[in-house]
Structure 1
Amino acid sequence: MTTRHPRDRFDEIADGPRVGAHRGVQRRGRGWIAFAWAALATGVLVGLGVLVLALLNGSYSFSGSDSPAPASSATATATAKPSSSASPSTPAAQAPAAGTPAQQGTSSLVVLNGTTTTGLAAKGSAALTNAGWKVTSTGDAGTTGTTATIVYYQQASQAAVARGIAKSLGVTAVQQSAAFPNADISVVLGADYAG
């Protein structure tokens, strides 16, 4: 025998608002929001990982002593202070006159294009070669917004040779820096270099 229960509101089926533990229809696009957050988190984590690896590898540092000065401040330093009244901290003022191609010895010399002008490194290399300097290689610098040409050298003993190279190029900015470890002397040609 079957027992019948009294009739109540649950016996009627209607397509009204859902009651109880039923979930409503999900809105469109919710999957894209989750994907966007996941992509953003992945990008941030990858960026932090690259930065940490670069710091551990030594290819990037936050200390100002090893990095070259911005081109505008280097130009201001080189043009604002004549060599006779330069401060004692300026290596260019302490060293003797500019070196000659014969004094280059085994020093490696690299010419880099720091601008968007195509072929500027080749022009600078040709000018130095015609002046008697031995250019090891040419290429593009890491940035393309350099305004002033600067000759960088690694060791204090190379200062005279760096000044001689700068003189051959018709510039005066010379700076000691370890920012270019692949060469003893690195020339970064800026927008001021006419060729």
Structure 2
Amino acid sequence: MARTTYPKDRFDQLPAGSGRVGAHRAENPHMRGWVVLLWAALATVVLVAAGIFGTLVLTGRVTLSPEPEPTVAAPAVATPALDTTYDVLVLNATPEAGLASRARDDIIAAGWEADLVLAGDAGSDDFATTTVYYPLPADEAAALALADVIGGAQVVQSDVYQPVDDPDSRQLAVVLGLDRVSGGQPTP
């Protein structure tokens, strides 16, 4: 191949001290290789993380949509059902004498046999709110009816007042509180 020569023009006439010859390009920076390496490392980390996350999603270990929260059904409210076959223990936990006997008389008047209703004093005289205690969830309706018989009371499931000698016995316990004392305050 023959070499072609072109006529000289103004670009060929450079000052003698410039030292510039040919095309002028910027020098490669010294850190350019490190920048490429860092970008490659970052891309590798992102791709590996995306692969792990994708695998977890596909295998079902991670879900993208939140699980619906389980709905909590409102507890069923028992309707009072008078059941006079329960033993009833009436305890007076106030300083006013005779409250347990009067409550016992009201319970007997509601249909209970006299030998199924026991009345006595509690170990303290500062119980705040009159409460009917029942042992099992199935006994709640009877406890609510008993609370209505004595003129209203709080109803709580607890086996604290159940007879120890006969675990098969069905017993409701009424603890009369200071809310039954005249004016809601203990009498002197």
Normalized against structure 2, the TM-score is what?
A: 0.49
Larger radius of gyration: 2
